Amino acid sequence: PFGVRGWVGSTYNHLAPLYLNIKSFFDAGDMKKASELQGMVLQFVELLGRIRGFNGGGKSYMKQLGLDLGPSRFPHATLSDKDLNIIEMEIDKLGIKEYMSILSTKKTQIL
C-alpha cells in the first residue's frame, strides 16, 4: 500500500536520461545497477554543492545544457563561466556527460 509511485527531485532537468535508466533498472529488479546509477546522481549533486552552493549551481548549470535561466535569486550564487567550466571538467571525469539531458555527446539507450 505504501509503494513508490513517483519521484520528486531537483536534478531531473539536468539528468533526465540517467533517471529514466535508473527507473528501468529498478522496474526490472536490477537494484545493483539502479543503485550504481543513483550514485552518479549523488556525485552530480555533490559537485554542484561544492561550487558556491547547490541551488544557484543547479540553475546556473542549465546554461551549459542550452537553457540560460538568468541569474539566481539572493541569497543563492549565480555561477561564473569559470565555475561552469570547472563543473564541466568534473562531469567529464565522473563519466556523467553522456547522461546529460540536452548536450549529451552520446545517445543513452533507455532500457
Q: Identify whether 2 is part of a domain.
A: no
Q: Total structural domains in the chain? A: 1
Q: Identify whether 78 is part of a domain.
A: yes
* Cell numbers found for residue 56: 544557484
Is the backbone of residue 75 left (phi > 0), alpha (psi -120 to 50) or beta?
Answer: alpha
* Cell numbers found for residue 63: 546554461
Residue 54 structural domain: 12-99
Give this prediction's pTM: 0.81
Q: Identify whether 90 is part of a domain.
A: yes
Q: Identify whether 1 is part of a domain.
A: no
In tens, the pLDDT along 35-52 reads 999 999 999 999 999 999
In tens, the pLDDT along 52-108 reads 999 999 999 998 888 889 999 999 999 999 999 999 999 999 999 888 886 544 444
Helices (H), ranges, the chain = 12-27, 31-50, 54-61, 81-94
Q: Identify whether 21 is part of a domain.
A: yes
